[in-house]
Every structure is written in C-alpha cells, then in structure tokens.
C-alpha cells in the first residue's frame, strides 16, 4: 500500500473579548455560578436577544485581517437541540448566511515553507452554559451562556498535525494582536475541533472522516491529530474501514476515544431566528473599521527584517505579541535595533518570566532599555555587566547610566590597567601558564575567568583576551 496522507480541516472557536454577552447585557466574564446570567441568558419566557454591536465590530476586524469577504447582509439562525445547559433549547448561530466568507491564514508548514490555509467561512454564535456533574445531581452554570464566539471553519487543506498546530498558533497570535480575543487556551477562549480523514495522496475519494472535539492546546491539537492519523492508517492498512464518528482526546492517555454515540445523526432543524433582523453592514461601516486596522503581523514582520535587519525568528517572536513589538520599536528608537531585539527576546523576557509579570507590569521603560543597549554598543559596559544592570534597573527603577555611575561598573578598557591585571593573574597561576605553553589552550578560558573575577566583570572581554594571548606568547 502506498504511503497514506491525512486531510485535516479545523473548526476553530474564538471567544470574543466584549464587555457584555452576544445577546444580553450580562457581563462577559467568569464569576460565581450564574451571577453573569441575565434573563435572556436564562431563557426566561418573553425575553428577546439583542445583538451586541461590539461583537460585530470584532468579527469584522478579524475578517479584514484574514482577507475574508465581510458580508453586507448576514443572518442569524436557530440551531435546535435539547441540552440542560442550553437554556432556550436552541443556540443562536449563523447558518446559510455567515458574517464572513473565505479568507486565509498564512503559516510556515513543517518544511518551513509558506502555506496558505484557506478559510471557508466564519460566523458569530453564542456559547452554551456549563454542566457540572456531581455524584447525585448535576449543576448548571449559565455564566458562559451567551458568550460571543466566532467559529472559523478552514477548508480541508491541511495534511500534517504540525501544520494544524501552526495554524492555531498563528490564529492565536493574530486574535491577541488585534485585541479580538484574549485567547487564553486553558480557559477555552480559543479551541478547535479537528476533522481528519486519511487516504492515498491524490486519491479521488477521501477516507471516512472523524471529528476530534474541543482541543484546547497547541500540543493537544498536534498530538490528537497525530494519534488519529496513525489510528486511521492502521485500520486502513489492515484492510478495515474507519467509522465516521466524533471522538474526544484524552490528554492523560494521549489517545482519542469515541464520544457517547448518539443513536441517530443530530437534526438541528436550522431556521432563521425571527427575533433578530438580518445583520446589514454598510460599506461605510466596514470602511470605518478598515481605517482603524493596525499594521498586521505579517507586514510588521517583513518590515522588521528589512528596516531593522532582525532575524526571522526574532521578528516573529516580537510580532507575535503586539505590546512586545511596540516595546521593541520604542527601545529601537534609542538603542541599536538588533541588539534591542536580542535583549528583549532574551534577558528581558526571562526577567519578566522570573517575576511572573506581563509586559504591562514591566518596570523598565523601553527607552531605558534602549539606553542600556546604547551603552553596551559604545563599549561602556560589557554584556555581562549589562545583565546585572538590567536586574538593578528592575529592582530600583533607576536608569542604566545612574546605576553604572553609582556602582562603578564602567567597563575596564584602559590598556595599561588591563595589562597590569593580566600580568597579576599570570603571576598567580604559573601552573596554568606552563600548561598553556605546552599547547593546552583550553586553560585560556580559566585564565579569562580569573581576570573577569578580579575585575568584577568589568574587563572589556575582547581587549582582555587579546592582551592575555599576547602576554602568554611573550
């Protein structure tokens, strides 16, 4: 049998960061059970949905960023089914006429090549509540009921689990960048269902499809699809047939298993919701949102390569986090851009992590980091000293120059002083000098270490190294 290939499509749910629910005035955030459930969310008789315009704005914003067609007329529909945490007995969604059509996400595939993940459609819908099962009873929390979601449906155009995960990563970065969603995956604010089928490449008919529900981490997306691909492949290679079904990923066991199977295929009896007029978006409305669009991540990334000469890795890291990119640009206005990028993605990020702080809470202003970088570039301090200075900047809030002056950390670059220092150390270590002369050049590192120790890290490393070699070979 030929090598088999997976065909993967994703249905991605993005929770929109609005103040209130999609159809009610209740707050759109978690709280004590049922505290954020308005009468509309409870499905009380006589209550009617009223569309949250902010959710529409966010949908259009994401649509423009994805290059989707923003539909001038879309429609809400009822998806009817019974479930205890579905208060109205139907979910308000969009069916025949979604708010966005088409669009694409550009990712880097497993081979590192650019890959366009084309999108079929994106629609607005409300989330259901949450059932909490106890031994003797189940409890229902309707805080999540009515939470605004965007469901993005990709074309079945992916073939590798890693590409599916890359697609999720890219979208995660984009929705955060656009402030459409906080996309906290552990909270389920970004999650996806993966549809997968397996067949020989180029086969005219795809294999039977299975759907893996509710994947809420990049790793789970990749592992679940990988597992499912192997499961299909084994069945097919053994001459069996794959059953079309919905499965759950068990992250503990790292495998998928069938969900409780329903006796019959669900019939949701969709029809247009008579409580909501069609959603009409004027060209002016769409243009007004277009005019507020920030520079998009891909464009920003290219600009970083060209304008600042950053490496693709650094550029992507910075752009993935819009505040970080903005921080970088502010720092790069003061210090050398490439060194700033290096320090921001390295030392500063590490520092934030260590203090479990977000960039908002960063105690070093970007201009001050730029100034620190400028001091390194001018050779006033070494990189090593700069790390200490950075720590002190965090702790004291002072700027680099003040700290360096106060603590006398200026880099030692004076040749005479350095020569004395090197001579002293060589005198203290006759053994190592002897070893060096016998050809064991590794001791150089040891000697450099001693010199740095003596200089409290202030010795200019390049000059010291040159002087050291010079004296040893004298």
Contact 24, 38 (CB under 8 A): yes
Does 46 interact with other proteins (rule: CB under 8 A)? yes
Of 107 and 281, nearer to other proteins (C-beta) is 281
- Separation CA 474–CA 465 (nearest Å): 14
Contacts of 16 (CB under 8 A, 6+ apart): 22, 28, 54, 55, 58, 59, 147, 148, 149, 150, 180, 181
How far are the Cα atoms of 1, 165, 320, 383 from residue 228, in angstroms, in the given order? Answer: 19, 14, 29, 48
DSSP-derived 3-state class of residue 76? coil
Does 102 interact with other proteins (rule: CB under 8 A)? no
Does 330 interact with other proteins (rule: CB under 8 A)? no
Does 239 interact with other proteins (rule: CB under 8 A)? no
Closest CB 279 distance from other proteins, rounded Å: 10
Specify the residue for token string 């409290």: 456
Cα angle: 7, vertex 11, 16; to 5 degrees? 155
Does 139 interact with other proteins (rule: CB under 8 A)? no
Options 271, 290, 420, 437; binder of other proteins; rule CB under 8 A? 271
Q: At what angle do helices 383-396 and 400-407 cross, to 10 degrees?
A: 110
Of 49 and 63, nearer to other proteins (C-beta) is 49
Does 274 interact with other proteins (rule: CB under 8 A)? yes
For residue 256, the cross-strand partners are 249
Closest CB 261 distance from other proteins, rounded Å: 15
Does 278 interact with other proteins (rule: CB under 8 A)? no
Closest CB 43 distance from other proteins, rounded Å: 4
Of 276 and 466, nearer to other proteins (C-beta) is 276
Of 25 and 470, nearer to other proteins (C-beta) is 25
Residue 424 tokens, joined? 């002293």
Residue 276 tokens, joined? 């909501």
Does 140 interact with other proteins (rule: CB under 8 A)? yes
Does 203 interact with other proteins (rule: CB under 8 A)? no
Contact 193, 215 (CB under 8 A): yes
For residue 152, the cross-strand partners are 12, 122
Q: Which stretch binds other proteins (CB under 8 A): 13-21, 47-55, 282-290, 310-318?
A: 47-55
Closest CB 84 distance from other proteins, rounded Å: 5
Of 44 and 288, nearer to other proteins (C-beta) is 44
- Separation CA 336–CA 328 (nearest Å): 11
Residue 148 tokens, joined? 């605004």
Contact 180, 62 (CB under 8 A): yes
Contacts (CB under 8 A) with other proteins, residues 16-45: 39, 42-45
Contacts (CB under 8 A) with other proteins, residues 72-91: 78, 80, 82, 84, 87-90
Closest CB 131 distance from other proteins, rounded Å: 10
In the complex, the residues that contact other proteins under the rule CB under 8 A are 39, 42-51, 78, 80, 82, 84, 87-90, 140, 267, 269-271, 274-277
């Amino acid at each position: 049998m030929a090598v088999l290939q997976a065909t993967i499509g994703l249905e991605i749910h993005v929770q929109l960061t609005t103040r209130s629910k999609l159809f009610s005035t209740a707050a759109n955030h978690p709280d004590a059970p049922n505290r954020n459930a308005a009468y509309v969310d409870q499905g009380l008789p006589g209550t009617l949905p009223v569309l949250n315009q902010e959710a529409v704005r966010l949908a259009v914003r994401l649509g423009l960023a994805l290059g989707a067609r923003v539909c001038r007329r879309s429609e809400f529909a009822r998806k009817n089914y019974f479930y205890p945490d579905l208060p109205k007995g139907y979910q308000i969604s969009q069916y025949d006429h979604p708010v966005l059509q088409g669009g694409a996400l550009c990712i880097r595939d497993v081979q590192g090549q650019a890959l366009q993940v084309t999108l079929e459609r994106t629609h607005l819908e409300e989330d259901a509540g949450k059932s909490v099962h106890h031994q003797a009873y189940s409890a229902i929390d309707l805080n999540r009921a009515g939470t605004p979601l965007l469901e993005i449906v990709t074309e079945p155009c992916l073939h590798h689990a890693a590409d599916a995960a890359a697609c999720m990563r890219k979208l995660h970065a984009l929705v955060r960048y656009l402030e459409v969603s906080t996309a906290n995956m552990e909270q389920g604010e970004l999650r996806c269902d993966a549809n997968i089928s397996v067949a020989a490449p180029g086969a005219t008919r795809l294999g039977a499809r299975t759907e893996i529900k509710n994947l809420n981490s990049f790793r789970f997306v990749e592992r679940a699809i990988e597992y499912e691909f192997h499961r299909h492949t084994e069945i097919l290679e053994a001459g069996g047939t794959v059953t079309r079904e919905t499965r759950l990923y068990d992250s503990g066991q790292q495998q998928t298993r069938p969900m409780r199977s329903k006796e019959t295929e669900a019939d949701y009896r969709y029809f247009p919701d008579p409580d909501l007029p069609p959603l009409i978006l004027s060209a002016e409305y769409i243009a007004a949102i277009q005019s507020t669009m920030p520079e998009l991540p891909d464009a920003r990334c290219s600009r970083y390569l060209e304008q600042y000469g950053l490496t693709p890795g650094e550029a992507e890291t910075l752009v993935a986090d819009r505040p970080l990119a903005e921080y970088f640009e502010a720092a790069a206005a003061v210090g050398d851009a490439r060194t700033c990028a290096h320090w921001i993605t390295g030392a500063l990020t590490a520092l934030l992590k260590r203090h479990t702080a977000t960039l908002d809470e960063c105690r070093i202003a970007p201009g001050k980091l730029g100034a620190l970088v400028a001091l390194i570039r001018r050779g006033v301090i070494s990189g090593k000293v700069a790390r200490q200075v950075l720590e002190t900047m965090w702790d004291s809030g002072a700027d680099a120059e003040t700290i360096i002056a106060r603590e006398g950390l200026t880099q030692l670059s004076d040749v005479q002083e350095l020569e004395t220092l090197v001579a002293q150390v060589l005198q203290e270590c006759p053994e190592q000098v002897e070893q060096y002369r016998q050809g064991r050049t590794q001791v150089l590192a040891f000697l450099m270490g001693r010199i740095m120790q003596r200089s409290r890290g202030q010795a200019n490393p390049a000059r010291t190294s040159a002087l050291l070699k010079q004296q040893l070979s004298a």
